Structure 1
Amino acid sequence: CLTGLRDYVLHHPSPYVKRLKLVDLTGIKDVEVQFCDCKKPMGRWARTELLSKLCLELLVHLQQMQCKPCTFKISIDVLVDLFVTERNYELVVQALLQKCYCPLKICCVAFRADNLALQKFFYIIKLTDPSLLRKLEVVHNVRLEMEHLEILFNSIHFPLLMSLTLPARTFNVLRHTASDELMLTTIGEKMGEMTQLTELSLAFSILTGRIQKLLSPLKTPLKMLDVSNCSLNHDDMAYLANSLHSYHLEVLDLSGHDIPGLYPSTFFKLLSHSSSVLRSLILEDCNIQDSHVNMLILGLSPCHKLQDFKFLGNPLSSEALKHLFAFLCELPMLKNVEFPVPMDCYPIGISYPIDDASLCRFDHQKYEKIAEELNLILLQGNREDVKASTPLFGSYDAAVQET
């Protein structure tokens, strides 16, 4: 597909034939199992690298060859999701700098930065034309902290941004000063200017007591919110449950919070408000125990659009899981369930959350037997369309696999 674009430019037929104006590569989905003959994946990072190479190679070809005059009139906008790391940074920068001279125009709709120096991130994000950007992911090894985020929002406008992902510890309110609180307010106001923003991921930032300050300025209700491991307190959960966002949340991740122990009633209020639209709910490491299952079932009962339910890392017995699975058969849209290794498969006295060293030290034979019984419950409930699994180290993530 990508090399075909280069060949199209170099061997374009008669000028009277209709010209290609736009190619949209943003809908390509990366999958774990490759069905092509070569079985080799070409993920978002590899596509970014190849497209950048082709653009630069094309410029060299055009300079060296005696091309038809019509070739120089070709201008094709290539809509693409760019994925930039230290390894492909220089190549992508060169391709973006030469954009005005190349027949293939890289139009960045989504941008993901990982393992990249902060200075380089600030430089390349300006080259992408941020006014067109709809999705921005800054993850893992990009040391973007709150003061850097304020600089970013003050110096660059993102009028079309719909989705924003920030790296771990962008915010850490435990060490906030009075000026930091003012900075947090400014960031909230700047996000409020992004009138298209409906998806926000703040995982592993410490935001205790500050969710309202950050989210209340938003002009558009959020459809996706990831506040996993953000140390939310009762005030944060109360704000979420009573905010306009709660009626629009289609994807919600509250992992890493002791929901039954800290704010059970406000959580179920939040769940009730979002139940008519909620498609994905993630409650990993939330201290959900056997005694909480009936209440959980009650809260999930109106969630008829729920497709994805993940609750790994919770101390649940095999009997509690069977009870829960019997109920899950009743959710008509459910497609994917990620459930924990039953507590009775681990040695007696195991403490939760389970550390990485102990995660795999369970009775695998017993687990397999219980997993078969849980799948049988789905089968007997005529729900063979539901995939149930226990990915101990997380689900497949194409972006992570590439880096």
Structure 2
Amino acid sequence: MWSLRFISAEALVSHPEVAQQSLDGVAHNLYPLLFKASYLLEQAEVIRALLERWPLEECRLGALLGPSADHSEDLRDRACRACLEAFVRGLADHVLWAGGRQRLRVADLTGVRDVQVQRCPCGKALGRWGRTELLARTCCELQAEPPGARYPIEVLADLFVTEGNFKVVMQALDPPRPAPLRVHCLSFRADSLGPGQLLHVLRLAGPGQLRKLEVVHNVRLHAGHVQQLLAQVGFPKLTSLTLPAKAFDAPPACTPPPSGEDPFLTSIAWELSQMTQLTELSVAFSTLTGKIRKLLSPLRTPLRALDLANCSLNHADMAFLANCAHATHLEVLDLSGHSLVNLFPSTFFRLLGRAAQTLRVLTLEECGIEDGHVNTLILALSPCLELRELRFLGNPLSARALRRLFAALCELPKLQCVEFPVPKDCYPEGATYPQDELAMSKFDQQKYDVIAEDLRAVLLRAGRGDIQVSTPIFGSFDPDIQETSNELGAFLLQAFKTALENFSRALKQME
């Protein structure tokens, strides 16, 4: 629904020159309305002029683009490059030219969602990495300006730091003198950084205010690094923590203690227990066999999201999960890479039963779920009436078993999204699981299309056409990886080159 006020604002900003000439005569409380109308129509010049003259003390991007009484549409999934660049440039203009009229105290750049398909007119996105670099470069440019009597503007941001933008981000966070823009980080994602670089930049990013920390992919941490990071930096307000693969491996030169205790795990668990607001933990691809109780039992707050994909869990780990206090609060759970129904049927059944009242997202990829396990899986899922998303790619299920499962999924009233595997009928006879990427891609597309249409028909006959089903063979869209794929590729090539050099050096020493 659009109000008459919004329609009028849209009419004004559709004529950029007239709009810019009229801004000084516009009531201050209409600036947010003009901003959203400009963003909707991708009028970058007007957005920049609005920010330059912004008459209010706060400018929060998420609130400006969200639904309102004047315009019910949500624009927060439009990471429009032209509009976001105009926003940041206008912020710089505000600092440079507003003079005595400067009233802006807080500029909040958070709240924008990165999606696969952009709905803005230009269709070009500025992702989290690009927004980080743009903001950092703008801060550095303003640092070169002569210092004035103006007060600094606090800029709230979600930072994404890699080797490619590390230096400029460091300069933005650690200016040589008081700067007009003071960056405050609410969430931080790190990729392709060394442990020392990560520690350095996090100390400058304001860890006391940090709510979300993602350390992913090509940040090579071991348990000693993780313990040092948590103990020396400290994250008192952290609600979400993601650690990279093998983050709980012992340091290379570490000698296991005679007692069998893992001092690093004990220390990490204690540091996590000091984070009294932590509710989301992702430690996928770390070997945690027999260690889940030690890691999770000290936590003071129940977890709402837990990712234990490919962590080599054993019976004791699953028994703890099924009976711990976290189980009744879980909303998001990933147990991919474990033979749940085959090895832990009773504990898996109990875990889902205890989580049923809260569980919204469940991921069970490459769990060895076969046709003979479908009835057990259906029984385990049946009490999960709050479930909205189910992902079980990479499991060797036939079309017949999938039809049975889909018929049962129709009984879950809030289910919205299902990611299902390519049926094993579509692969050559004798195909083995889990599959590598090459084998995964070699299936009969025509046969798959027929089966997928049949599965959708199962949903339609049950009146559940609202459930979106898909088979993203190589995983769901990840905007962060998409944005930095070239840089990550170069990083991996360099790592491969270094490994070859080390191997060659070792061979020469053997000779």
Query: TM-score normalised to the size of structure 2?
Result: 0.75
Please give the residue correspondences for 1:184-203 in structure 2 after superposition, counting only pairs within 5 Å: 184-203=265-284
CA deviation profile, 1:377-396 (whole Å, cap 9, x unmatched): 22222222221000010000
Alpha-carbon distance in 2 for matches of 1:99, 1:284: 49
Please state whether the residue corresponding to 2:429 is helix, strand or coil: coil
Please state whether the residue corresponding to 1:73 is helix, strand or coil: coil
The answer as to 2:334 corresponding to 1:257 is no
Aligned-residue offset at 1:97:
0.6
Of the candidates 343, 347, 359, which is equivalent to residue 428 of structure 2? 347
In structure 2, the residue matched to 1:3 is: 89
Alpha-carbon distance in 2 for matches of 1:233, 1:60: 57
Of the candidates 181, 185, 201, which is equivalent to residue 262 of structure 2? 181
The answer as to 2:131 corresponding to 1:54 is no
Alpha-carbon distance in 2 for matches of 1:275, 1:12: 55
- The answer (yes or no) to whether the contact 1:173–1:208 under 8 Å persists in 2 is no
Of the candidates 166, 171, 175, which is equivalent to residue 243 of structure 2? 166
Aligned-residue offset at 1:350:
0.9
The answer as to 2:225 corresponding to 1:151 is no
In structure 2, the residue matched to 1:323 is: 404
Please state whether the residue corresponding to 1:190 is helix, strand or coil: helix
Please state whether the residue corresponding to 1:129 is helix, strand or coil: coil
- The answer (yes or no) to whether the contact 1:203–1:229 under 8 Å persists in 2 is yes
In structure 1, the residue matched to 2:114 is: 30
Q: Note the aligned Cα RMSD (angstroms).
A: 1.8
Q: Greater relative contact order: 1 or 2 (C-alpha under 8 angstroms, separation 6 or more)?
A: 1
Alpha-carbon distance in 2 for matches of 1:380, 1:106: 54
Instruction: Give the share of equivalent positions with the same residue, in percent.
Output: 54
- The answer (yes or no) to whether the contact 1:32–1:398 under 8 Å persists in 2 is yes
Of the candidates 273, 289, 296, which is equivalent to residue 215 of structure 1? 296
Aligned-residue offset at 1:352:
1.0
1:34 alignment partner AA: Q
Alpha-carbon distance in 2 for matches of 1:152, 1:401: 28
Aligned-residue offset at 1:295:
1.5
Alpha-carbon distance in 2 for matches of 1:173, 1:298: 40
Alpha-carbon distance in 1 for matches of 2:241, 2:380: 29
- The answer (yes or no) to whether the contact 2:341–2:377 under 8 Å persists in 1 is no
In structure 1, the residue matched to 2:211 is: 134
- The answer (yes or no) to whether the contact 1:173–1:206 under 8 Å persists in 2 is no
- The answer (yes or no) to whether the contact 2:352–2:380 under 8 Å persists in 1 is yes
Aligned-residue offset at 1:14:
4.7
CA deviation profile, 1:47-67 (whole Å, cap 9, x unmatched): 00000011111233445xxxx
Larger radius of gyration: 2
Q: Structure 1's 345 and 182: CA in aligned 2 closer, same or farther, altered over 3 A?
A: same
CA deviation profile, 1:292-335 (whole Å, cap 9, x unmatched): 11111111111111111000001111011111111212212111
The answer as to 2:168 corresponding to 1:91 is yes
Q: Structure 1's 7 and 166: CA in aligned 2 closer, same or farther, altered over 3 A?
A: same
1:7 alignment partner AA: D
The unaligned stretches of length 5 or more in structure 1 are 64-68
The unaligned stretches of length 5 or more in structure 2 are 1-86, 485-511
- The answer (yes or no) to whether the contact 1:99–1:105 under 8 Å persists in 2 is no
Runs of 4+, deviation exceeding 4 Å: 173-176
Alpha-carbon distance in 2 for matches of 1:2, 1:333: 39
Please state whether the residue corresponding to 2:262 is helix, strand or coil: helix
Alpha-carbon distance in 2 for matches of 1:99, 1:195: 34
Aligned-residue offset at 1:8:
2.0
Aligned-residue offset at 1:362:
1.1
CA deviation profile, 1:312-365 (whole Å, cap 9, x unmatched): 001111011111111212212111110000011111111111122211111110
In structure 1, the residue matched to 2:495 is: none
Of the candidates 102, 110, 113, which is equivalent to residue 187 of structure 2? 110
- The answer (yes or no) to whether the contact 2:437–2:474 under 8 Å persists in 1 is no
Of the candidates 372, 375, 381, which is equivalent to residue 456 of structure 2? 375
More displaced 10-residue stretch of structure 1: 39-48 or 93-102: 93-102
Alpha-carbon distance in 2 for matches of 1:241, 1:380: 35
Alpha-carbon distance in 2 for matches of 1:347, 1:102: 63
CA deviation profile, 1:135-170 (whole Å, cap 9, x unmatched): 111111111110111111221211001111001011
Query: TM-score normalised to the size of structure 1?
Result: 0.94
Q: Count residues in correspondence.
A: 394
Please state whether the residue corresponding to 2:311 is helix, strand or coil: coil
Query: Which structure features the higher share of helix residues?
Result: 2
Please give the residue correspondences for 1:352-367 in structure 2 after superposition, counting only pairs within 5 Å: 352-367=433-448
1:187 alignment partner AA: I
Of the candidates 128, 143, 161, which is equivalent to residue 44 of structure 1? 128
CA deviation profile, 1:21-52 (whole Å, cap 9, x unmatched): 22222211001011223222111000000000
Aligned-residue offset at 1:215:
0.7
- The answer (yes or no) to whether the contact 2:394–2:435 under 8 Å persists in 1 is yes
Q: Structure 1's 125 and 261: CA in aligned 2 closer, same or farther, altered over 3 A?
A: same
Alpha-carbon distance in 1 for matches of 2:261, 2:171: 37
CA deviation profile, 1:258-316 (whole Å, cap 9, x unmatched): 11221111011010111100010000000111111111111111111111100000111
Alpha-carbon distance in 2 for matches of 1:336, 1:212: 32
